[in-house]
Amino acid sequence: MLLQLILFAQIILKSFEAPDCYSDGLAFYKSGGTGYLFVSNLEQANDICSSTPYRIYRIDTINGTVQNSVNTFPRFYHGLAFDGNYLWGARDWEYIDKMTPDYTLIASYPDMGNFTFGLAYNPENGVLYVSQCQRISGTGLWVFEINPNTWTKIDSFRLDQSGLPDYGWVDCAYDTIQDVLWIHNLVNITIYAFNPATNSLVGGFTAPRSQIEGLTFDGNYLWASETTTDSIYKILVPTIIQEKNTISNSKLILNFSGSNKL
């Protein structure tokens, strides 16, 4: 139950300025032993800064130095994910785009629901996680597990469970160390941990800032982008204690059952 959820402490290891104002989705990318972040920018969508159109930036993880960027106008992106070969972007609330690391568009796919926001990739089983931002009237609020090679739904689980909000869910990141999916909720200002193998909420921590909208995991640490301060944070996440039988490191394509499945 939500009332029994313990919020753990996180440690901010570093922070630096985002490449532009209203930086949103994040994806970790490694090339030649060097780590980078892809950062999506929604500046024009909010009309709060200059006239720079929608962009995706690639920055280093040392101090945020911009390596390159691309103008994606009129397309705008929220969540991003990198699968080792391709960059995925949640576009215009309704589509998922597949791109090369140099932003060449390869394919566009319809999302599995509406108000798509978050993306995360699990390299252990090849699953792409797609999360919704808010619930459509009469429906649930879902995270979909997708086979990105065939664009078919493997499974799904609900976010609006155990009394959690039915809106305000933004980007997500798959933690390959703890086998949990981190997802931030703007209403509670909490980054929650879900175990996709058991469809269960297993922990969380208070977000470092109120408007965290981008998350990604680099294999060791969680990265978060925040839109009001235009900052990017490197976070040492807390250890989530789970029962041994709730984690599966060998899952590839799973068949789940239960009332919280779509």
For the segment 24-53, the average pLDDT, to the nearest whole number, is 81
d(CA 261, CA 251): 18
**Complete edge-to-edge strand list for the sheet that includes strand 77-82:** 77-82, 87-91, 95-99, 105-110
Q: Which CATH number fits domain 2-239: 3.50.50.60, 2.120.10.30, 1.10.260.40, 3.90.1150.10?
A: 2.120.10.30
Q: What is the pLDDT of residue 47?
A: 56
Q: What is the pLDDT of residue 251?
A: 35
Encoded tokens for 146:
């997708």
Domain ranges of the chain: 2-239
Q: At residue 17, what are phi and psi to the nearest 5 degrees?
A: -70, 140
Q: At residue 170, what are phi and psi to the nearest 5 degrees?
A: -115, -125
Better pLDDT: 129 or 74? 129
Using CB atoms within 10 Å of the CB of residue 251, give its burial: 0 to 12 exposed, 13 to 18 middle, 19+ buried: middle
Mean pLDDT of the chain: 84
Q: Residue 46 is inside which H or E element, if any?
A: helix 43-46
Convert the pLDDT of each residue in 97-147 to its tens digit. Answer: 999 999 999 999 998 877 899 999 999 999 999 998 877 655 667 899 999
Convert the pLDDT of each residue in 181-238 to its tens digit. Answer: 999 999 999 999 999 998 889 999 999 999 999 999 999 999 999 988 899 999 999 9
For the segment 70-98, the average pLDDT, to the nearest whole number, is 94
CB 210, CB 188: distance < 8 Å: no
CB 161, CB 261: distance < 8 Å: no
Encoded tokens for 11:
């440690």
3-state SS, one letter per residue, for 147-199: ECCCCEEEEEEECCCCCCCCCCEEEEEEECCCCEEEEEECCCCEEEEEECCCC
Q: What is the pLDDT of residue 119?
A: 97
pTM of the model: 0.87
d(CA 111, CA 93): 8
Encoded tokens for 256:
């789940």
3-state SS, one letter per residue, for 108-134: EEECCCCCEEEEEEECCCCEEEEEECC
Percent of the chain predicted with pLDDT > 70 = 83
